[in-house]
Structure 1
Amino acid sequence: MKTKILICFILVYGKAFGQVGINTDSPSALLDVISKTSSPTTKALEINNSTDLEMMKLHDNGNVGINIGTSNATDLLHVKADVKHEDLPVLSAPYSLFAVDGAGAAKAQFTSTKYFYFKRSTSFGDFTLSNTNSYTNIPFENNSDIKGNTVGFSFGTDTSATVNGQSVNNVSYLTVPEPGVYLFEMYQTAFCSGLPTTVGDTGQIALNTLFATAASGSSTYSTNTIFRDYVIARRNASGGITSSSYAYANPQKMVVAYQSTSVNEKVALFINYAGGDSYNTESCRMNLPAGSDNYGYLIVTKL
């Protein structure tokens, strides 16, 4: 009965004066409601159905909740159910498509590509290529070789670690700060000087490039992806035939689309002997191809 009287009063007052105010003596609109607080937990408006189920609410801080029950609306618009949109405009760069963030908020916003670009200015090595259980870490250091790092990678070294159960010292790694899909693209070239320790019928060395990962805080790495290339025998640095070296710049490539599922996962790259001719002395390294200004690069793009 009180509700009916209030509604009738509002209608009569509004008809007489044109504007109605609640908690205000000077309404500035046809219906002007002033909240008593600005709290995110108290409500200025609540609409229930016939079973006393909250269908819609407007909190005193401006957040609106639709079909969320008795829970507080935690964003400007908090909806629990499908939302139908019609006649939305088609967005082009630099706008992203309508998306939902990790907290469930729907947003459309400016986007920029997050990337990491490392261009190696010096060679690294020396290492052997004779044991399939031996892993040589490919280092990535926080120095002037970094040409961009908007993805926010950080750097670290595990003084003692394992790779596929094998002990490796001083593993240089990259820390992936947030979950997501990352495209890793690496290119470098390998060579070995002098005659190989063993020579088979292959006339080449099979060489693995390993993409390995470890959990945050762990130094136990396991292989995620292996790329296999070859070091061609009997070539000098210019590509000419020689009987005493593997000195030609032999490309070693790696392309990996990696899905990180937790914060601060660790990524490390390794060289690993896979077969063929071998060097059991530290006669192999990554070299500078003729006409190139770098000893290899790594580009990572957050997709």
Structure 2
Amino acid sequence: MMKKIFFITLILVCTEVWGQMGINTGNPSAALDIVSNGNTLVTKALEVNNSDNSELFKIHNNGNTGINIGTSSPTDLLHIKTDIKHENLPVLSSPYSPLAVDAAGAAKVKPTSTQYFYFKRSSSFGNFSLNNTSVYTNIPFPAGSDVQGNTVGFGFGTDTSGTVNAQSVSNISYLTIPEPGVYLFEMYQTAYCNGLSTTSSNTGQIAINTLFATAGSGSSVYSTNIIFRDYVIARRNASGGIHASSYAYANPQKLVVAYQSTAANEKVALFVNYAGGDSYSTQSCFMNQPNGSDNYGYLIVTKL
């Protein structure tokens, strides 16, 4: 008892005389200066326990602080178990997002930005046939000046050979999705074919599939995720007027897909495919520019 009284008296005297108190140091630099007595990851500079001798608060030698984590060592600068209550916080407005926790468990507030990919085609592509349901023609979206924005970080590549639904296809232009997530793909373009069809089923139209196909990272085996079907209306010139020997009207080919990517660097490729009706066995079909338009089609992708 006398030892405790002497120690308390000494602390009071030191505090009164110097205005500073040091624990494990003879030269305190603050009103209360505590120096850790070790330099390992589990060494504690300060520990506070409750009446049951359970650890409530601790500061380790490396600066990590733990609150309500029991006997575990804090693994971050501030490591807290269960809820934290905040009051009177400022309301954040654009361009800042609400407080959120990332995959590593760190709480962050950061500027928001729409992650998107925008491709606006400046020239036609084509020279493909429409007469065989087993033939797939790749719709290219290459890197270059037609890419108007790519904040989502899509990659670009070409498979010199591959398969689509087990059918061989050469020079497949694809986009690479860098990280898992949900992406909305919206594509619009128009199709036409020169002259009369080489064979006719007397339907007066051509049915064309637009395919959205995917492959895993490093794979060139593509499988169909979804198909959109549109029709080329026959006997129309480029302005839409009735014409005896023309399929040249700009017929919309559309695709809207909400795709959930589940692995990093998945590949996405788009294709056109003959579905039925009048047919062209010669490579005389194209994706063209509608009258009054400044482009030959576009692809917009937004990360949701």
TM-score over 0.5 for the alignment?
A: yes
Aligned pairs for 1:1-303 within 5 A: 13-14=14-15, 17-35=18-36, 42-48=43-49, 54-303=55-304
| C-alpha deviation, 1:179, in angstroms | 1.7
User: Residue 167 of structure 1: SS of its match in structure 2?
Assistant: strand
CA contact (8 A) 2:183 2:260 kept: yes
What fraction of aligned residue pairs are identical, expressed as a percent? 72
Aligned counterparts of 2:204 and 2:253: Cα–Cα separation in 1: 17
Deviations 1:164-192 (A, max 9, x none): 22221111111111122222221111111
| C-alpha deviation, 1:5, in angstroms | 8.7
Greater shift in the superposed pair: 135-144 or 273-282: 273-282
Aligned counterparts of 1:301 and 1:124: Cα–Cα separation in 2: 24
Greater shift in the superposed pair: 59-68 or 210-219: 59-68
**TM-score normalized by the length of structure 2:** 0.87
Structure 2 counterpart of 1:274, one-letter code:
A
| C-alpha deviation, 1:110, in angstroms | 1.2
**TM-score normalized by the length of structure 1:** 0.87
CA contact (8 A) 1:209 1:227 kept: yes
CA contact (8 A) 1:75 1:105 kept: no
Greater shift in the superposed pair: 22-31 or 208-217: 22-31
| C-alpha deviation, 1:231, in angstroms | 1.3
Aligned counterparts of 2:65 and 2:163: Cα–Cα separation in 1: 52
Segments of 5+ residues of structure 2 without an aligned counterpart are none
Structure 2 counterpart of 1:245, one-letter code:
S
Deviations 1:185-209 (A, max 9, x none): 2111111111123333542222221
User: Residue 153 of structure 2: SS of its match in structure 1?
Assistant: coil
Structure 1 counterpart of 2:75, one-letter code:
T
User: RMSD between aligned alpha carbons?
Assistant: 2.9
